Amino acid sequence: MINKLVTLFSLQLIDDELDELEELRGDLPLRVNALNARIKEMQEQIDEKEKLKSDSLEKRKTNEAEIERLDVSLKRFKAQLYQVRNNKEYDALTKEIDHSESEIERLIAENAAMETNGEKLKIEIEDLTPNVDELNVDLKENQVELKKIIKENEIEEIKLKDKREKVAAKVKKPDYNVYMRIRKALRGKAIVKINRAACSGCHNIVPPQRQIELRQNKRLFTCESCGRILVSQEIVDAAMKSLS
């Protein structure tokens, strides 16, 4: 059991050092992720507006071609009015003329609306683009700063991760799962020592009988207040010695 406790606390000590390296990065990783997400969101908006503008332009070209075709037909229908032989032919031509004129008016109005909307989309794109450019500059600065910090601690981090892998391999899977669950729930600190009769994690007093049992190092105990695994000073010293 002593070896088990020493190994678990050794893992905690290594994770503490890795956490310290992570803290050196501050909120840079979060800022980089947030900037990337914001840039992606705004770029998607720009791309969507560009597509709407492009589709609108294509539709206007199609409408213009249709207007030209209808205009040609309209002129032909009007010319044929002078050649009709009866009221039936006259009514049929008049109907075609009315339909063509109505369709031309509709297409012209549709094109005008699309042109207005196209100008609106253009302005919106022009407003968004500088914001994306500014965010990209900010992102690059944060990335450079983050890479610098990572580079400065790269060798130490690699050594610690290698050491952690070797220590973690000695921990049984159920114990490791418990350790990681507590560590995740309690901001990294899964195992703590008793300090002056109290849990050094939550500072609540550990019952005297529990203190005696803990110092015997015969089984795994957790703090009744915070749920962290508790170890004696003997385990702490042994873990620190094993890592030195």
- Residue 22 has what pLDDT? 87
User: Which of 168, 151, 67 has the alpha carbon at shortest distance from 109?
Assistant: 67
Long-range contact set of residues 156-164: C-beta below 8 Å, sequence gap at least 24: 156/21, 157/18, 157/21, 160/14, 160/17, 160/18, 160/21, 161/18, 163/14, 163/243, 164/11, 164/14, 164/15, 164/18
130 pLDDT more than 90:
yes
Across the chain, what does the average pLDDT equal? 93
What is the structure's pLDDT at 26?
A: 85
| Architecture of the domain made up of 28-153 | Orthogonal Bundle (1.10)
pLDDT at 167 over 90: yes
pLDDT, position 115: 95
Average pLDDT over residues 129-142: 95
Count CB-CB contacts under 10 A for residue 158. 10
Residue (of 63, 58, 59, 98) closest to 77 by Cα position: 98
**Which residue in this structure is represented by tokens 């002593």?**
2
Residues of the chain with CATH 1.10.287.1490: 2-25+155-243
Give, to the nearest 10 degrees, the angle between helix 87-152 and helix 154-168. 90
Does 1.10.287.1490 match the CATH number of domain 2-25+155-243?
yes
* Structure confidence by residue, pLDDT tens digits, 29-71: 999 999 999 999 999 999 999 999 999 999 999 999 999 999 9
Instruction: Report whether pLDDT(187) > 90.
Output: no
pTM of this structure: 0.62
